[in-house]
Amino acid sequence: MNYSFKNDYSETCHPRLLDALRKLEAEQIGGYGEDPHSEEARQLIRNRIGSPEAGVFFVSGGTQANLLVIASFLRPHESVICADTGHINVHEAGAIEATGHKIHGVSSPDGKLKVQDIEAVLKEHTNVPHVVKPRLVYVSNSTEVGTVYRKEELEELSRFCRKQGLYLFLDGARLGNALVAEANKNRTGAGPLKEYSSISEGCGLELSDLPRLCDAFTIGGTKNGALFGEAIVLSHPGVAQEFPFHLKQRGALLAKGWVLGVQFRELFRDDLYFELARHANRSALRIAKVLQEQGIPFLTEPETNQIFPILPEPVIQQLLEQYEFYRWKKIDEEHTAVRFVTSWATPEGVVDEFIQLFLSIRTD
Amino acid sequence: MNYSFKNDYSETCHPRLLDALRKLEAEQIGGYGEDPHSEEARQLIRNRIGSPEAGVFFVSGGTQANLLVIASFLRPHESVICADTGHINVHEAGAIEATGHKIHGVSSPDGKLKVQDIEAVLKEHTNVPHVVKPRLVYVSNSTEVGTVYRKEELEELSRFCRKQGLYLFLDGARLGNALVAEANKNRTGAGPLKEYSSISEGCGLELSDLPRLCDAFTIGGTKNGALFGEAIVLSHPGVAQEFPFHLKQRGALLAKGWVLGVQFRELFRDDLYFELARHANRSALRIAKVLQEQGIPFLTEPETNQIFPILPEPVIQQLLEQYEFYRWKKIDEEHTAVRFVTSWATPEGVVDEFIQLFLSIRTD
Amino acid sequence: MNYSFKNDYSETCHPRLLDALRKLEAEQIGGYGEDPHSEEARQLIRNRIGSPEAGVFFVSGGTQANLLVIASFLRPHESVICADTGHINVHEAGAIEATGHKIHGVSSPDGKLKVQDIEAVLKEHTNVPHVVKPRLVYVSNSTEVGTVYRKEELEELSRFCRKQGLYLFLDGARLGNALVAEANKNRTGAGPLKEYSSISEGCGLELSDLPRLCDAFTIGGTKNGALFGEAIVLSHPGVAQEFPFHLKQRGALLAKGWVLGVQFRELFRDDLYFELARHANRSALRIAKVLQEQGIPFLTEPETNQIFPILPEPVIQQLLEQYEFYRWKKIDEEHTAVRFVTSWATPEGVVDEFIQLFLSIRTD
Amino acid sequence: MNYSFKNDYSETCHPRLLDALRKLEAEQIGGYGEDPHSEEARQLIRNRIGSPEAGVFFVSGGTQANLLVIASFLRPHESVICADTGHINVHEAGAIEATGHKIHGVSSPDGKLKVQDIEAVLKEHTNVPHVVKPRLVYVSNSTEVGTVYRKEELEELSRFCRKQGLYLFLDGARLGNALVAEANKNRTGAGPLKEYSSISEGCGLELSDLPRLCDAFTIGGTKNGALFGEAIVLSHPGVAQEFPFHLKQRGALLAKGWVLGVQFRELFRDDLYFELARHANRSALRIAKVLQEQGIPFLTEPETNQIFPILPEPVIQQLLEQYEFYRWKKIDEEHTAVRFVTSWATPEGVVDEFIQLFLSIRTD
């Protein structure tokens, strides 16, 4: 079968996680997340984010996490603002609306929400009470089109939301990829990214910034080496306190909650979570660098493990003979933006071979 | 107090309706719409629409009617397509989402939905099951910006919806105004309207076309001479049969249902419903004609009792000294589209005086 | 047609209300309850209840009022406790559940909720978070079986709810009948009622007690002389402030809100609301007194305008030849509890004739 | 730590399941259940139930399965009938009501629903449209109090539901325990069970009966040896076709769906699913037999892996010194029914020691 660059959840999980599950075999363990393994995972995360009071909860998937967070924050007449590319707006089968809330999707070519976007929505919703009341801002980081928020961008959003009485919720399905992105290393966020040769953490956005900036955020496991699972972090104490009811009501409270807890314990016991994300980013950006050197334009700036080169049809055809990936958006009659996604498990050799093939196609 | 052109629900109701209510004083009448007066109203409507099998129900308002119809047709994962100006999309405080359904609002400068708009939404929702399933098309006639669907436009929408398995629901909060519009008299729907001198019904869209073209539609009373009330007409027998449960569950089943039934009986006993709409249209179009003669552009084609001239700020200021009306949309630094709404009760003399004032301002 | 004792919403409305509507004919009036007539009605009610800060809102029916109040108070995981006879539990087609909330109906032969009933529900719901969180207590006064809460009963409930962090909501669809009941005149609430000869207000429960005792209550118009309409009174400032959004979202905000406002203005301009209720109670209790004198037992204590005598089948048959009323509950092979409801409009002569017929049947 | 008889989800999972997950490490696997492993699992189940057309879906937990099934079958005004002990009625934090549907919980000491219970609910809901429309019957097998439906009981329910237009949904969170119960071996269902010495399958209820008898049922994994997961089987083709939308919308569609699929493939590749259930039943019934021989009464007939002996307080106290288990229901001042749950992983030696301790206490 051809190697797939379709997504970052095609491989089982990092071996340490299955090992950790195997080691539990001799135990009887408490149910519903009330066990020492889950508690250890929660503590590791609280330490890492520097927020000993934060509510930390583990659930099985991203759509579940999103609907839980949003439904627990909002009253029936309150609505959500997000980029029109936002996962909740297009790829969750109406999960948020099914909990009763309208979503305002605002156009955003780079997948990021700006203060002026939110302002525009607020301005359109002054004819009270005939309109909904926008109350929660949803951002994804990294975004659905692979871009990342700079620290100052998120700080600006956060300040604005606080001032306007809006909740800020960050969907971190690919949070690892965002936090280790070059964009968050010693940069001011202005201008395009030129160099991807070395990926390391810098003085940009840190995990520990999030509890201060957001009312809620998630830490994605499924797309970063876990078998499955997302951690929900709630800075808002009132919502956190009642959250277990919501977990149960929405069918998200696993009887064997430690299946999730143990995985997050392994990911955050050391730097594993970030190492896996770094590997994924590095793999994609190695490809991106070569393509950029060959003059290939991109739909969005390549910053993380999802990249969107705009390729000529014949090139796409040849690549599809040996690799699987998605066509993302038709640009013109002869060009289409495609999506390559690398993961924590992408072998270096595969990246080498892909680059070789690409160069051989181009030089033909 | 200044005369108001703000809307068409500022005056009580046509005197015949209150008289009819007064005449019931001696009776004891059955509850929940199960009374002879309501039954007579339902029969009059069924006769008029030429659909003896249609379900006819009376409710107290338009938002209520819309949420009832939509929630009774759709399954949880199904969504609604409408123009972004659609009442359900912007002015119902999230009523449809509160019943669990997403709305796709598509951009439409003239407030009308076209087949290609629907096609575009369908095309964006093929990634099953990650997306909602568009299932119902909502149109308003006349629209929120005063325009009307030509018969052939509605027929084209209807054919497309049938072919695609989509329900078609027409919100007739201002249905009277649409049906008596010049646009529906001996015209093909192409090109701008030039003449508003005589308003009469023609061979265009008729009330009796609607049961054939739509799965559901409403006949608005509140904005056309009733104290309050909308009639819901359901062509879909299965939905009609269960509809009383929905009425009760959503708080729409009035104990004294005849308060609504009697009003619709009076409106449809003869041509009153259409006469009132004709009067409202004629009043607005008398104003529109003068403004057009003076070279005033309009945001949308003036076709019914809502018109949207684009006026210079100084003119708006002077008019506001003697009349009330809404600013609708800022066009540029010096011009704003305003909305004038006339009603079944607008005195001819008021229209005369308004025209005189306008001409005096312009000639200054 | 036979005279009907089926319910108290069979007659149009008190003539003063239609007169008041007729008088508005010359005006243009502001929409959505933002008009001087509605404001005057709100002020009259605020004065009468002695709570200048209370939120007062008018809606078209009781089910609508109930679902609005409950949905605006509760978070998704919170539930409602009521008597199993509670209107919301049995006769609103699942309106409350449709807003997402569970109802705990507790058995109550007299239709009243007691502190121990609530305690029992709370005790069953400690297995957090696997259970819902009971959060709102719903009582009807008068109840669905015609009984009334004594002031001290309601005070005890209120104290308990406050202590437990429960909201208390009183459904006053027949509040007038409750407040003018003999039970609320100089009595301690203990023991059965013996005398119904004179009905007058006393030192019992007063309208002005309710804002203090309840977080929300309604004042029913539909069943006490209005064409239609219920007033919702909210003591909770936070809920009151956001309530207009809920009104709009649930389809309860009438464009011509003054249709409701004017009616409540008339009902509360003087003592009309209470006079109508007194008349209704007096009519029923005249019948009850005769039946009790004839040894007829009752399903519940006759206290208001709904009485439930337990009659032998042959008596029921003979009465049904000249009157309409509902069989309520089969007691044994030979006896059935029936329901007689009188209204603000029941003619004294009708009561006289009914009593005569009854006595003639019994003495046969 | 003391050995726990608290539940059957305290141990990780059968080693074969983790082995199977480990074996996937080299693969790239398709997302959202569209992979060969999940497909193989679906085929194994379809073969086992003898229904090649059935819809089979894997989800992460029982509450999720229940809310998904019920919400996908019902229209807004339709409700659910179940025993008052039903999991959906008491232990799912209002999950069903959160999807908008009322539950009618009917009293049932043995946790089983009978035709007359359903009939009684139907009879109370004829006052259309003021009441909800009961539409779906929910049964658990084995029940929440450990009892099992005999084949003829389920057939009778099924026939009645079909006749009345009611859907029948069987919650099989502990379906394995029900199907291998002695009660389903060569018995007619009448009378108490006397012998538990040999547990084997017989001519009673079979897995392959369920598609014929029910519109939907689940096969529980979490409580029978899986890490987590329930299989949902849908006999109703229309609901099955649209079900993936519901899965996605409710947050139940795992990106790595094969985590569930692989587990069910292992459980149904051979007889493992039933062997694990047999072991759990046998362990509990060994204890039950000894207790019955010692004259201990039971709250419900011990038939599966959950047993509810009524023990004197001093005995409970002594047992609690060495074992963990729940007090279930206080019977009188001196006696409480407790719950012992055994699992697929309960060691025989633990059962032996427990029995010894019990006998030593009793003989003291």
B266-288 exposure pattern, b = at least 16 Cβ within 10 A, e = fewer:
bbbeeebbbbbbbbbbbbbbbbb
What are the backbone dihedrals phi and psi of residue C104, each rounded to the nearest 5 degrees, phi first? Answer: -100, 105
CB contact under 8 A, D95 and A249: yes
CB contact under 8 A, C253 and A129: yes
CB contact under 8 A, B100 and A100: yes
CB contact under 8 A, A102 and B94: yes
CB contact under 8 A, B256 and C9: yes
What are the backbone dihedrals phi and psi of residue C229, each rounded to the nearest 5 degrees, phi first? Answer: 125, 145
- Chains near C with 3+ CB pairs less than 8 A apart are A, B, D
Amino acid D185: pLDDT: 65
- Chains near D with 3+ CB pairs less than 8 A apart are A, B, C
D192: which 2 tokens?
């108490």
Place of tokens 């052939």: B152
Nearest chain A Cα distance for residue C48, angstroms: 27
A241: which 2 tokens?
């306190």
Disruptive mutation site among C77, C133, C254 for chain A (greatest number of A CBs within 10 Å): C77
CATH number of the C15-270 domain = 3.40.640.10
Which chain C residue has its CA at the smallest distance from B89's CA? C249
Closest CB to A94 among D65, D249, D256:
D249
Residue closest to A250 by CA, chosen among A80, A147, A100, A37? A100
B127 and chain A in contact, CB less than 8 A: yes
Amino acid A290: pLDDT: 97
Q: What is the pLDDT of residues B261-275, one digit of tens each?
A: 999 999 999 999 999
Closest CB to B93 among A92, A97, A130:
A130
B243: which 2 tokens?
């509809």
Long-range contacts of A185-190 (CB under 8 A, 24+ apart): A187/A150, A188/A150, A188/A152, A189/A150, A189/A151, A189/A152, A189/A153
Q: Which chain C residues touch A248 with a CB distance below 8 Å?
A: 77, 129-130
Q: Report strand pairing: C335-341 vs C310-312.
A: antiparallel
A5-44 exposure pattern, b = at least 16 Cβ within 10 A, e = fewer:
bbbbbbbbbbeebbebbeebeeebbbbbbebebbbbbbeb
CB contact under 8 A, B91 and A127: yes
Residue A229's SS3 state is coil
D339 neighbors D307 (Cβ within 8 angstroms): yes
CB contact under 8 A, A129 and B101: no
Q: Which chain D residues touch A9 with a CB distance below 8 Å?
A: 31, 255-256
Q: Is a pLDDT exceeding 60 seen at residue C190?
A: no
CB contact under 8 A, B91 and A130: yes
Disruptive mutation site among B224, B254, B341 for chain C (greatest number of C CBs within 10 Å): B254
Q: Which chain A residues touch C245 with a CB distance below 8 Å?
A: 77, 128-129, 132-133
Q: What is the pLDDT of residues D67-123, one digit of tens each?
A: 999 999 999 999 999 999 999 999 999 999 999 999 999 999 999 999 999 999 999
Closest CB to B7 among C31, C65, C68:
C31
Interface of B with C in 222-241 (CB under 8 A): 222-223, 227-228
Amino acid C189: pLDDT: 38
In chain D, which residues fall in CATH 3.40.640.10? 15-271
CA–CA separation, D237 and D242 (whole Å): 9
Q: DSSP class of residue A252?
A: -
Q: Which chain C residues touch D93 with a CB distance below 8 Å?
A: 77, 129-132
Domain A3-8+273-363 fold is: Aspartate Aminotransferase, domain 1 (3.90.1150)
Domain B15-272 fold is: Aspartate Aminotransferase; domain 2 (3.40.640)
Under the banding of pLDDT at 50, 70 and 90, the label for residue B313 is very high
Residue closest to A212 by CA, chosen among A150, A273, A154, A171? A154
Q: Domain A15-271 is in which class?
A: alpha beta
10 Å Cβ neighbour count for C265? 22
Closest CB to D249 among B71, B72, B76:
B76
Domain B3-7+277-363 fold is: Aspartate Aminotransferase, domain 1 (3.90.1150)
CB contact under 8 A, C228 and B63: no
Q: Is a pLDDT exceeding 80 seen at residue D237?
A: yes
C171: which 2 tokens?
């459904």
Q: Mind spelling out the 3-state secondary structure of C238-301? A: HHHHHHHHHHHHCCCCCCCCHHHHHHHHHHHHCCHHHHHHHHHHHHHHHHHHHHHHCCCCECCC
Q: Is a pLDDT exceeding 70 seen at residue B338?
A: yes
Residue type (1 letter), A223: K
Q: What is the pLDDT of residues D34-48, one digit of tens each?
A: 999 999 999 999 999
A218 and chain D in contact, CB less than 8 A: no
- Residue D264: enclosing H or E segment and its boundaries? helix D258-269
Q: Report strand pairing: A310-312 vs A335-341.
A: antiparallel
**In B75-187, alpha helices (H):** 87-90, 95-98, 115-124, 151-164, 175-179
Amino acid C1: pLDDT: 79
> Is the peptide bond between C134 and the residue preceding it cis, with omega within 30 degrees of 0?
no
In chain C, which residues fall in CATH 3.90.1150.10? 3-8+273-363
Residue type (1 letter), C166: L
CB contact under 8 A, C248 and A130: yes
A131 and chain B in contact, CB less than 8 A: yes
CB contact under 8 A, B97 and A93: no
Disruptive mutation site among A102, A144, A327 for chain B (greatest number of B CBs within 10 Å): A102
Size of interface B-D (CB pairs under 8 A): 49
C235-249 exposure pattern, b = at least 16 Cβ within 10 A, e = fewer:
bbeebbebbbbbbbb
Residue A39's SS3 state is helix
B302 neighbors B321 (Cβ within 8 angstroms): no
Outline where DSSP puts E strands in chain A. 3-4, 55-59, 78-83, 103-106, 133-140, 167-171, 216-220, 230-234, 306-307, 310-312, 323-324, 326-330, 335-341
Under the banding of pLDDT at 50, 70 and 90, the label for residue D188 is very low
Q: Report strand pairing: D335-341 vs B55-59.
A: unpaired
Place of tokens 């549907």: D101
Q: DSSP class of residue D329?
A: E
D1: which 2 tokens?
């730590």
Residue C53's SS3 state is coil
CB contact under 8 A, C246 and A99: no
In chain B, which residues fall in CATH 3.90.1150.10? 3-7+277-363
A267: which 2 tokens?
């990911």
Under the banding of pLDDT at 50, 70 and 90, the label for residue D198 is very low
A36 neighbors D18 (Cβ within 8 angstroms): no
Closest CB to B128 among D128, D133, D244:
D244
Residue A38's SS3 state is helix
Place of tokens 């899986």: D226
Amino acid A223: pLDDT: 98
Residue type (1 letter), D103: I
DSSP string, C101-166: --EEEE--TTS---HHHHHHHHHHT-STTSS-EEEEEEEESS-TTS----HHHHHHHHHHHHHHT-
CA–CA separation, D12 and B184 (whole Å): 71
Place of tokens 């520990």: A208
Q: Which residues neighbour B253 within 8 Å (Cβ) at sequence distance 6 or greater?
A: B32, B33, B244, B247, C61, C63, D129
Q: Is a pLDDT exceeding 60 seen at residue B309?
A: yes
Amino acid C254: pLDDT: 98
Q: What is the pLDDT of residues A190-218, one digit of tens each?
A: 334 444 333 334 458 999 999 999 999 99
Residue type (1 letter), A209: D
CB contact under 8 A, D77 and B247: no
In chain C, which residues fall in CATH 3.40.640.10? 15-270
- pTM for the model stands at 0.95
Under the banding of pLDDT at 50, 70 and 90, the label for residue D363 is low
CA–CA separation, C184 and C203 (whole Å): 7
D31 neighbors A10 (Cβ within 8 angstroms): yes
Residue type (1 letter), D328: W
Q: Which residues neighbour C16 within 8 Å (Cβ) at sequence distance 6 or greater?
A: C266, C272
D175 neighbors D272 (Cβ within 8 angstroms): no
Q: What is the pLDDT of residues A122-143, one digit of tens each?
A: 999 999 999 999 999 999 999 9
CB contact under 8 A, C242 and A128: no
Amino acid D284: pLDDT: 98
CB contact under 8 A, B9 and C256: yes
The whole-number average pLDDT for the span B219-228 is: 98
CA–CA separation, A175 and C174 (whole Å): 57
Under the banding of pLDDT at 50, 70 and 90, the label for residue C363 is low
Q: Is a pLDDT exceeding 50 seen at residue B197?
A: no
Under the banding of pLDDT at 50, 70 and 90, the label for residue A363 is low
Mean pLDDT rounded to a whole number for chain A: 94
Under the banding of pLDDT at 50, 70 and 90, the label for residue B364 is low
Q: Which chain A residues touch C249 with a CB distance below 8 Å?
A: 76-77, 132
- Rg of chain D (C-alpha set): 21
Interface of A with D in 44-103 (CB under 8 A): 59-68, 92-95, 98
